[in-house]
Chain A
Amino acid sequence: MRWIDWYGDGSLYVLDIALACCTLEFDAASPASAAPVPTLDDRAHVAVVISGTVTDRLAPGVAAIIDGCEQVAGRRPTVISFGACASSGGPYWDSYAVTKGVDQLVAVDAYVPGCPPPPEALSAVLDQIAHRVKS
């Protein structure tokens, strides 16, 4: 897995499950210091962001990735459902092919509303997770 060292200092590692349009906002949110790394620091915060619509077909894969994150990190990551689709199915809640929110598969720690949420919405949640709440 390629984790993003969000602040570039080994304090927070983030993995993006890039499913749809919200992932573009994830890209926009990642600071200039962010760098993909293959291994984790044991003491760092770890977060998984699900960006985009979870289709029924992809759902088992998404669940497997999140389980995989837990195994690789050795601890349960903070799970963030980013955007309306990941939070509840969003505008596609009534589709015959969409899972109504990633929380149907795994426990979610933070739900970020938006379609898509602005990048600042993600930065704010990640700053909180890493205890870097802006004044």
Chain B
Amino acid sequence: MLPENWLAAVEALRADGFDYFDWLGCVDEIGRQDCFRVILVARNLAKSAEPRMLSCLLPRDDPRIDSVRGVFAGAAWHEREVAELFGVEFVGGERRRLLLDPGFEGTPLRKDEVLAARTGLNWPGAKEPGETDASPSRRRMLPPGVPDPAVWGDRDASQPASDPAEVAESAVGGRVLRRRT
């Protein structure tokens, strides 16, 4: 659904008997579409806790959605977590960080955010069988989580900045089997 219908849909869900808030989360759909998908699950305790899921797509370059903490007070913490980890803005929501340090910079759960620790360390698996020291001319194998240096890290300054989808795709890792849609 569209962001403008979100609050009304959640209110309707609660009115419909699904008054037990289960969780609210987010999925970064980069690579499939340039969106974040915000998901809410609520349950109807009167009907054996039957769950119902609502989801809303937000444009990645302007991810704003209404806060539903007025409908389910418990959603406030889930929204704070999504806000700090994905950079989604919950209009009318609480702005305080939940898990990350106030000084933390970045939105770690976005797929184009690179795990810096992995890029900074020599991967033991980069060596080839029969090798002890790195051979400088040989193309190195990259571990999952580290994008190709040409895409991120060592990109030619004359090239435009990499597109987030390119970075996310490049960091998937050579040995991971990916389902082609």
Contact = CB atoms under 8 A, between A and B. Distances in A.
Contacts of A111: none
B145 A56 contact: no
B118 interface: yes
A96 B145 contact: no
Query: What band does the interface of chain A fall in when counting residues whose beta carbon is under 8 Å from B?
Result: under 10
A57 interface: yes
Contacts of B145: 94
A96 B108 CA distance: 7
A107 interface: no
B147 to A, nearest CB: 14
B141 to A, nearest CB: 17
B101 interface: yes
A44 interface: no
Interface of A: 56-57, 93-97
Main SS at interface, chain A: loop
What 6 pairs across the A-B complex have the smallest Cβ distances? A94-B117, A96-B108, A94-B118, A57-B101, A94-B115, A56-B101
Contact of B115 (A56, A57, A96): A96
Contacts of B100: 57, 97
Interface of B: 99-101, 104, 106, 108, 115-118, 145
B99 A93 contact: no
Nearest to A97: B100
A97 B99 contact: yes
Given A56-B101, A94-B145, 7 more contacts: A56-B104, A93-B117, A94-B118, A95-B117, A96-B104, A96-B108, A96-B115
16 contacts: A56-B101, A56-B104, A57-B100, A57-B101, A93-B117, A94-B115, A95-B117, A96-B104, A96-B106, A96-B108, A96-B115, A96-B116, A96-B117, A97-B99, A97-B104, A97-B108
B171 to A, nearest CB: 12
Nearest to A92: B117
Nearest to A59: B101
A124 B159 CA distance: 58
B106 to A, nearest CB: 7
A133 B91 CA distance: 61
Contacts of B99: 57, 97
A93 B121 CA distance: 11
Which has the most chain B C-beta neighbours within 10 Å: A56, A57, A93? A57
Nearest to A94: B117
Contacts of B104: 56, 96-97
Contacts of A96: 104, 106, 108, 115-117
B112 to A, nearest CB: 14
Contacts of A57: 99-101
